[in-house]
Every structure is written in C-alpha cells, then in structure tokens.
Amino acid sequence: MSLSDFEAVIGLEVHIQLKTQRKMFCDCRNDGELQPPNTTICEVCLGHPGTMPVPNKKAIEWAVLMATALNCSINKKQFFDRKNYFYPDLPKGFQISQFSYPIGENGFLFILNKKLKSKTYVEASESDIRIGIERLHLEEDAAKNIHKDDRIMVDYNRSGTPLVEIVTMPDFRSPEYAKIFLQDLRLIARYLGVSDADMEKGHLRCDANISLRPKGDDKLYPKTEIKNLNSFKSVERALEYEIMRQYKIWESNEQDSIRQSTRTWDENSQTTKEMRSKETSGDYRYFPEPDIPHLDFNDKSFINIDDLKNSLPELPYDKRKRFLEEYGLSKEEAYILTSSIKISEYYENIVRKLLSEIDVDGEENFEEIIAKKTAKWMTNKFIGVLSSRNISFENNPLSEDDFVDFMKIALSGRVNSSLLQQILEKALETGKAPTEILEEGNLNKSVDNLDGIIQSVITENPDEVQKYLSGKHNLLQFFIGQVMKKAKGRANPDEVREMILDKLNELN
Ligand code: ZN
Ligand code: MN
C-alpha cells in the first residue's frame, strides 16, 4: 500500500464579506474594521429584544451577482432562516442565514489546468478542472472575539456584516487546486467589486473538508473539517498534513476508527489538532426567520436578475482562455495579465494601439508577435520593476501611450534588451516618454558597443583570462574595472559584471 493508491476528496466552505456601505440588516456603516471597537453598532446588530432586521438590497444584489458568476441557478423564492447556537460573539443567540433556499445552487467554476508545483497528491490532467458549487447563500457575520491576556473581549463592529457563504462539492483531488480555487474566488470578488476578499484581513475565510479513499472507490468516508486557515498557504499545508495523517491511519488498517470531526490548524506546529466531533445541521435547529418577509425574485421592481447577469464583466477564467487563444500567451502570462481588470485592460489597449499604428504589411504572424512581446515586457520586466519600487499597478505612472512608445522601440530591434530595461526604469523614475529618454542619448552610446568592449578586454588580457579560468575568481573585479574604463563610466556595473561572467563561462 502506498500513498499513490489513494485519492483525496476535498471540499471547501468559504465565507466572503461584502463591502457594502451598510450592514446586512441595519443601517450601521460597514467599515467597522477601520473604526474603534464597538462604535459602528446599533440595537439591531447588538440583538436587542424587539428590534427588527431589514435586509440590505445591495447585499442581496451582490450575492446574486456572485452566484451568477459561479454559474448557479438562482432561487426565485427566498427567505432567511435562523441558525441557533450560543457564543459570546452572537448576541441574539442565532445567526440570520439561509438554509432551505440559498440564493444560488448547482453552480460550477472552471480552473485553468496548470502545471502544479507540488509533486504529490495529484494526477496530471489534460483538461481544465471543474469544481461544482453546491450552494451560495447570504448571512450575517458574527462579532469578533479578541483574546487579550487572560480575558476575552468582544468587538461588535463586525456583527451584522453581510457575508456570502459558498460551499463547493468535494471535487478537489489536490490541496494545490484548493488553493488556486480560493485565489480565483478572491479575484472574481474583486472583478465584481463586491469584496476585497483579503484573506489576511478576514474578508475571505475558509474551512476545508477532507477524507481519503482508495482509488477507484466511489464511497465517501468520514471527513475531517479543518478550521483556522488564515492564508492560502495554510489551506494547502493543512490539507497536505491531513492527507498524510489520514493515510497513516489507513496504513495501519485503522480506517474504521476515523470519525467525522473538526480539527484546527496550528500555524506554529504546522499540524492539525482535534477540537470536537463535527456538528450536523440538526444541531442548529434551523427554522424560518419570522421577522423578515419572504422575498420574490420574480418581482423585477425589487431585483432584476437579467440586468445583473448582463452587468457581469468578462471573468478571469474566460479572459485567460481568450488570452491563450487570441494572443498565444503562456498560462503563466495569462494569469499575471488577468490578475486585475486594470492590468488586463492596459495590456489589451496597448496591443490594440500597436496593431493600429504599426504597418503590418507583409509580415507573417505580426499580430501574435506584438501580443507576445508586449506580454513578455509587461510580465517579465514591467510589473517586476513596479513592485520593486513598491508601486501598485493602480498607481502605475506610465500611460498606455508611453508604453506603446516603449514597445515601438522594443519592436524596432534597434536597442538591446538591457538598454530597454534601463529606458523602462528611467521612464518610471522621471515620467519622461521612452523616446525622449532614448534620444537623450547617453544610455544609448555606452551600451550599444558594450559587447565589443568586453570582447576586446578579454582578447587583450589573455594571461588574466587563463588565471581566472584556473580558479582565480577575484580577477573578475579587474575585468569589470577595465571595461568601465573603456566605457568611460557610461555602463551599468551590474550589467557589465553579468555580461563578463557570461563571456568567461563560455570560454570555460
Ligand atoms: Zn447595526
Ligand atoms: Mn456560515
């Protein structure tokens, strides 16, 4: 028996906070995470007796939008349910949620098939991965317990924040795809503008269910639910850990002892620990919320589902697919260039402008060459330079026209790539147009013949080259010095160093 005889059966339960102006059932502002504790609260979200919840229409629309993006069918008849349990962060003693009729059901999300980084727990798959969405429903968030010294304090600012809960089918076979799915979910929420879905800030929270079974077996074995997953990385790690833990139980033939249970991920020890045996829905004594009237989605004056559907932007998976097919990009490039709507628009506008401004007569595959080269420059260099300068793409100072200007220089073949990178950096630094920087000239001259200078330094110093090759590596400084002297200081020492190393390695 080995690990490869088993497959993991993984499902996710995800909560995403909606960034509406107001809370789910009251008029309190919904930015409590930025405000002092217990200041964005009222009688409703504190659960005072006799108060009446009024649903937030925007939150309902956004939940429908999210469910539509996940290809769910939308339930036209809607009501809320009470989920009863006792905890200090839940002042009413129940959470207003949806049980029988979620906003959406039976959806799915495709994930672009990717070369996975982890070698274990996964079978190579040629086709894209389809993850079923069991349901998406709307509910209110609980307050936040803050543990300080030996006390627990409660901040009710979060109480009543609108949440969508998304439950997937147990369709993941690999922890890595679970992570990728969550990242895609975050991106969809951002594309739709309904949440920042920042996991570190608790906007997106995830519990994972996992069981193991012998390959070929259709049965579902008792699952473990893992809680306290605070980052994408911890989701993946916790699932990998749990697979190994359960595998060892199978290995010693004690699988009958596995009960359905809830475990918590401990970041420090990188292990899961049992909390309790898992509760079932019966434990919550769900019943319809009597204080909120039923909602009717057939009533177009209340909510127009068709309008919402038509307002969906092109979603990340479709955009990536299109970038692969239309521009011949690599999957890696497609992922980066769809990582925000802004980036993807910037990229496509540049390609469009280049195609309309450059004469493509007679050249074969010219469109694809332009699209690919632009993608290369954006993903390999530009986004890297921005992030090394701590500039977010949203604050990118280079206009589309400037980047078009830059790409024209790059496509002309007049200038080598290390010089192009200098132009890019200088454009970011000075805000000048790339052509202007090129015409100023001093970059141009020094680097243009750098290759020739290095070659001549090597030819003129055969003894030093021999010594270097036989191990005297500190001579590298000598070569750099000689080249800088000949270049009259107009070269970048780091680049010179790299180029000399390349040349010397060729001789080796
Ligand atoms: Zn309130
Ligand atoms: Mn929930």
The maximal CA–CA distance of the chain, rounded, in angstroms, is 94
The ligand with the least distance to the CA atom of 40 is 1
The ligand with the least distance to the CA atom of 30 is 1
- At 98 the three-state DSSP class reads coil
The ligand with the least distance to the CA atom of 206 is 2
pLDDT tens, the chain, 508 aa long: 899 899 999 999 999 999 999 999 999 999 999 999 999 999 999 999 999 999 999 999 999 999 999 999 999 999 999 999 999 999 999 999 999 999 999 999 999 987 777 655 555 567 899 999 999 999 999 999 999 889 999 999 999 999 999 999 999 999 999 999 999 999 999 999 999 999 999 999 999 999 999 999 999 999 999 998 999 999 999 999 999 999 999 999 988 888 889 999 999 999 999 887 767 778 899 999 999 999 999 999 999 999 999 999 999 999 999 999 999 999 999 999 999 999 999 999 999 999 998 876 667 788 889 999 999 999 988 988 888 888 888 888 899 999 999 999 998 877 877 888 889 888 888 888 999 988 887 664 445 678 888 999 999 999 999 999 998 888 998 998 888 778 766 677 777 888 898 888 888 7
The ligand with the least distance to the CA atom of 102 is 2
pTM recorded for the entire structure = 0.85
CA of 506 to the centre of ligand 1 (A): 70
CA of 293 to the centre of ligand 2 (A): 21
CA of 229 to the centre of ligand 1 (A): 28
How many helices (H) and strands (E) in the chain?
A: 17, 16
CA of 13 to the centre of ligand 2 (A): 8
Task: Give yes or no for a contact between 418 and 452, defined as CB atoms under 8 angstroms apart.
Answer: no
Residues with CB under 5 A from ligand 2 (ion): 165
pLDDT of 506: 84
Among candidate residues 313, 67, 66, the one with its CA nearest the CA of residue 195? 66
The ligand with the least distance to the CA atom of 281 is 2
CA of 487 to the centre of ligand 2 (A): 66
Extract the tokens encoding 489. Answer: 């200081």
Task: Give yes or no for a contact between 386 and 397, defined as CB atoms under 8 angstroms apart.
Answer: no
Rounded (5°) CA angle 360-361-364: 75
pLDDT of 445: 47
CA of 334 to the centre of ligand 2 (A): 33
The ligand with the least distance to the CA atom of 141 is 2
The ligand with the least distance to the CA atom of 23 is 1
Among candidate residues 171, 174, 160, 98, the one with its CA nearest the CA of residue 135? 98
CA of 37 to the centre of ligand 1 (A): 13
The ligand with the least distance to the CA atom of 26 is 1
Task: Give yes or no for a contact between 185 and 127, defined as CB atoms under 8 angstroms apart.
Answer: no
Among candidate residues 154, 172, 140, 149, the one with its CA nearest the CA of residue 56? 140
CA of 21 to the centre of ligand 1 (A): 12
Rounded (5°) CA angle 341-346-352: 120
- In whole angstroms, give the CA distance from residue 326 to residue 100: 43
pLDDT of 385: 84
Give the DSSP letter string of 156-201.
GGGTT-EEEEEEE-S-B-SHHHHHHHHHHHHHHHHHHTS----TTT
CA of 47 to the centre of ligand 1 (A): 9
CA of 412 to the centre of ligand 2 (A): 56
CA 396 to chain centre: 20
- In whole angstroms, give the CA distance from residue 160 to residue 287: 19
pLDDT of 489: 62
Question: What is the per-residue burial (b if ≥16 Cβ within 10 Å, else e) of 80-95?
Answer: bbbbeeeeebbbbebb
CA of 96 to the centre of ligand 2 (A): 10
Extract the tokens encoding 461. Answer: 């110093």
CA of 141 to the centre of ligand 1 (A): 12
- In whole angstroms, give the CA distance from residue 451 to residue 465: 17
CA of 158 to the centre of ligand 2 (A): 14
- In whole angstroms, give the CA distance from residue 40 to residue 389: 36
CA of 140 to the centre of ligand 2 (A): 8
pLDDT of 251: 92
